[in-house]
Amino acid sequence: MLLACREIQKAFHEEPVLKGGYFHLEEKEKAAVVGINGAGKTTLLNIITGEYAPDGGEVILAKDARLGYLKQRQEILSDATIYDEVASARADLFRLEQQLRVLEADMAGKDGEELRGLMEEYSRLSHRFEDEGGYALRSEITGVIKGLGFSEEDFGKPCRVLSGGEKTRVALGKLLLSRPDLILLDEPTNHLDIRSVAWLEGYLRDYPGAVLIVSHDRYFMDRVVTKIIEVELGRVSMYSGNYTVYAGKKAAEREVALKHYLNQQKTIRHEEEVIAKLKSFNREKSIKRAESREKRLGMIERLEKPQEVRDAMHLSLSSSAVSGEQVLTVQDLSKSFGPRCLFSGLSFGLRRGEKTAIIGDNGCGKTTLMKIMTGAVSPDAGSVKLGAQVAPGYYDQEQHLFDESHTLFEEFRESYPAMTDTEIRNTLASFLFTGDDVFKPISVLSGGEKGRLSLAKLMLSPCNFLMLDEPTNHLDITSREILEEALLKYPGTLLFVSHDRYFINRLAGRVLELKDGRLTEFLGNYDSYLEKSAQLREAAAVREDRSAPAETGSARDWKNKKEAEAQRRKKENDIRRTEDAIEQTEASLEALEAQMASPEVAVDPVRLMALDKEAGELRARLEELYTKWEELT
């Protein structure tokens, strides 16, 4: 066992946050911590790392286990470049490499006992360098930086000029390369686009250590973790399985617990009625029986009503007058900023009732495209036309129109006078504003809180065409699910930008991918997009004539069959070639190692160094071939 937390308790200003419970983590296990915002998830991580001391309970960590912790926000003050900052995580290997170079220089011209001593030291360090991945170090660093969404042009950027989100990505790359026994990540996907999140999923699944993640990304959790740690009402509970399995188990548990609670309440009411009736007879015998029943009733351990996370939390979206059939027409749209062209010649349309997602890498132009459609930004060319009786509403993460002197409650009271106090509170609770939060002045809210408030107001507006830019940012899982349910029932038209793949899966009937300045349309949700985009890539790899005229149905079927057959043969050939390359590389490495072990080479330091370097390169090549073979098979 790598980690165990037993009955952890923690309070702030006498307000209990964590009240106990138990969970454990095995070596190489991947787990996620879930719970509503403010439940105590980050507090739990801080207790595990030792940043906070628990008020009670204990954290048991395996001896000599190394922890690595990524907080939600990382401040990097270094003047180092992105590459150098990430590479500093393996400074030990770079120092080891430098020691090898020094030893190589020292061995030149030495002989006898002195040479033997240097060679033994060199052999020891060389094997350690190889075992710790030294020969593949630079390619690994490059792979991690690119995987987290940076291009090679970004490698030389100084960290001090990066945004907060970019600094967090650099810190994540540095943490991954440091290879601790247990990685703790607090919302690691917040600053990543879909491609980078998918890369991180694969990296963490294959990571040789254990991983504990705080996340609201349900798709990410489904693909990475095999255990869920729930923090609810201060209690910590453990569930095996991914998020979807946990959600099913939790729903079943609540149903059973509610049934037991209702049955007990029914029994209690019946007993109270019997006791009252017996007392009403006002006879000594009946009063004694009533007192006996009261005593038994008082000994019953009362069950608490199970917390239903959606109690009093719901949204019902309406729309104004029904729009025309054609809601939006975008024709030949282009936009550049200086020499950089974001997109050109974009054309698409939306029909009434459609729910469409726009996806793409960070910086590809998604938000700019949305702002052009709202009129906030002018295109360089092309047109955007709204259909008849279309009443648009737009949610932008950055621009929020409020009276800053209002409290949250006053803002809703003035904007929606027909709403009751309870309806206003329930709506605000759906977007994580509870208790006295509703009486906060808007002027003191953070950017994320203003975003949630803006989204809450938009959800109650009478628009029949909603445009949402990253609507699930700053929402916990419960609020995301409430929003999803409301949007699923929304009778109007919906266009949204999102990196939340679970959200896209539930809502989208069409996905528009913005890539390399072009839009590609995929019917269906995100999973359907993945499948169809993979098919397109495979077809493109074997298609010989991209400009061939349209074929008849039978000709097309024949061509598809031939393409599939060609694709199958290509994969078989790739596998065979890779296996041949593995065999040849292993043979070369074996011959080289035999040569290094020979007496005549053992006394020739210059030749030995050259052969050792060549062997290291062969081992790195072999590792790449094994990885490629696994991907192909």
Q: Identify whether 100 is part of a domain.
A: no
Chosen domain end from 538, 561, 584:
538
* Residue 73: pLDDT over 80: no
Residue-wise pLDDT tens digits, 301-352: 888 877 655 444 456 666 667 889 999 999 999 999 988 999 999 999 999 9
- What's the token pair of residue 247? 């959600």
Which ranges constitute the DSSP H helices of 132-229? Answer: 137-147, 164-178, 194-206, 218-224
Q: Are residues 251 and 207 in the same domain?
A: no
CATH number of the CATH domain containing 49 = 3.40.50.300
Amino acid letter for position 633: T
pLDDT number for residue 38: 81
pLDDT band at 474 (very low <50, low <70, confident <90, very high): confident
Amino acid letter for position 285: K
Q: Where are the beta strands (DSSP E) in 505-617?
A: 510-515, 518-523
- What's the token pair of residue 245? 């399995």
The rounded distance, in Å, linking the Cα atoms of 194 and 138 is: 25
* Residue 558: pLDDT over 60: no
Q: Identify whether 166 is part of a domain.
A: no
Identify the bridge partners of residue 6 per DSSP, sorted by sequence position: 22, 58
pLDDT number for residue 315: 61
Q: Are residues 349 and 262 in the same domain?
A: no
SS3 at position 512: strand
Mean pLDDT confidence for 514-523? 93
Residue-wise pLDDT tens digits, 368-414: 999 999 888 999 999 999 999 999 988 886 666 788 888 999 998 88
Residue 554, number of CB atoms within 10 A of its CB: 8
Q: Identify whether 90 is part of a domain.
A: no
| CB burial string 239-270: b at 16+ within 10 A, e below | beebbeebbeebeeeeeeeeeeeeeeeeeeee
Mean pLDDT confidence for 484-488? 87
Q: Which of 193, 224, 148 is nearest to 498 (CA)?
A: 193
Q: Are residues 413 and 513 in the same domain?
A: yes
Q: Are residues 458 and 569 in the same domain?
A: no
What's the domain count of the chain?
4
* Residue 504: pLDDT over 60: yes
Per-position DSSP letters for 578-594, written without gaps between them: HHHHHHHHHHHHHHHHH
pLDDT band at 576 (very low <50, low <70, confident <90, very high): confident
Residue-wise pLDDT tens digits, 16-45: 999 999 999 999 999 999 998 788 999 999
Q: Where are the beta strands (DSSP E) in 311-395?
A: 326-337, 340-351, 355-359, 381-386, 392-395
pLDDT number for residue 436: 85
- What's the token pair of residue 227? 């255990």
* Distances from the Cα of 596 to the Cα of 115, 128, 129, 586, angstroms: 16, 17, 17, 15
Q: Are residues 9 and 58 in the same domain?
A: yes
Q: Identify whether 28 is part of a domain.
A: yes
Q: Identify whether 112 is part of a domain.
A: no
SS3 at position 223: helix
Q: Are residues 504 and 396 in the same domain?
A: yes
pLDDT number for residue 398: 66
Q: Which of 598, 604, 609 is nearest to 115 (CA)?
A: 604
| CB burial string 394-407: b at 16+ within 10 A, e below | bbbbeebebeeebb
Residue-wise pLDDT tens digits, 127-155: 999 888 888 899 999 999 999 999 899 99
Chosen domain end from 241, 258, 279:
241
Eight-state DSSP code of residue 144? H
pLDDT number for residue 347: 95
pLDDT number for residue 233: 86
Residue-wise pLDDT tens digits, 156-202: 999 988 888 888 899 999 999 999 999 999 999 888 888 899 999 99
Eight-state DSSP code of residue 231? E
Predicted model pTM: 0.72
Per DSSP bridges, beta strands 493-497 and 381-386 are unpaired
Q: Are residues 288 and 357 in the same domain?
A: no
Q: Are residues 274 and 330 in the same domain?
A: no
- Classify residue 338 as left (phi > 0), alpha (psi -120 to 50) or beta: left
Determine the angle formed by the axes of helices 605-632 and 112-131, rounding to 10 degrees. 10
Residue-wise pLDDT tens digits, 598-629: 777 766 777 777 777 787 888 878 777 777 77
Q: Are residues 479 and 619 in the same domain?
A: no
- What's the token pair of residue 356? 């469409």
Q: Identify whether 104 is part of a domain.
A: no
Q: Are residues 489 and 412 in the same domain?
A: yes
Q: Which of 2-11, 68-77, 276-285 shows the lowest per-residue confidence on average (mean pLDDT)?
A: 68-77
Q: Are residues 64 and 195 in the same domain?
A: yes
Q: What percent of the chain has pLDDT over 70?
A: 91
Q: Which of 277, 297, 300 is nearest to 287 (CA)?
A: 277
Please give the angle made by the CA atoms of 147, 214 and 243, to the nearest 5 degrees.
95
Q: Which of 442-446, 568-572, 590-594 shows the lowest per-residue confidence on average (mean pLDDT)?
A: 568-572
Q: Residues with Cβ < 8 Å from 632, sequence gap 6 or more? A: 571, 574, 575, 578
pLDDT number for residue 313: 47
Chosen domain end from 200, 221, 241:
241
The rounded distance, in Å, linking the Cα atoms of 125 and 607 is: 17
Is the Cβ–Cβ distance between 529 and 511 less than 8 Å?
yes
Which ranges constitute the DSSP H helices of 390-446? Answer: 408-415, 421-430
Query: What domain range includes position 280?
Result: 247-298
- Classify residue 18 as left (phi > 0), alpha (psi -120 to 50) or beta: beta
Q: Are residues 610 and 531 in the same domain?
A: no
pLDDT band at 557 (very low <50, low <70, confident <90, very high): low
Q: Identify whether 465 is part of a domain.
A: yes
Q: Identify whether 93 is part of a domain.
A: no
Sheet holding 381-386, edge to edge: 340-351, 326-337, 381-386
pLDDT number for residue 553: 56
Q: Where are the beta strands (DSSP E) in 276-376?
A: 326-337, 340-351, 355-359
The rounded distance, in Å, linking the Cα atoms of 40 and 36 is: 9
Residue-wise pLDDT tens digits, 221-249: 999 999 999 999 899 999 999 999 998 99
* Residue 527: pLDDT over 50: yes
pLDDT number for residue 7: 95
The structure tokens 């015998």 sit at 285
* Distances from the Cα of 334 to the Cα of 369, 381, 497, angstroms: 9, 5, 18
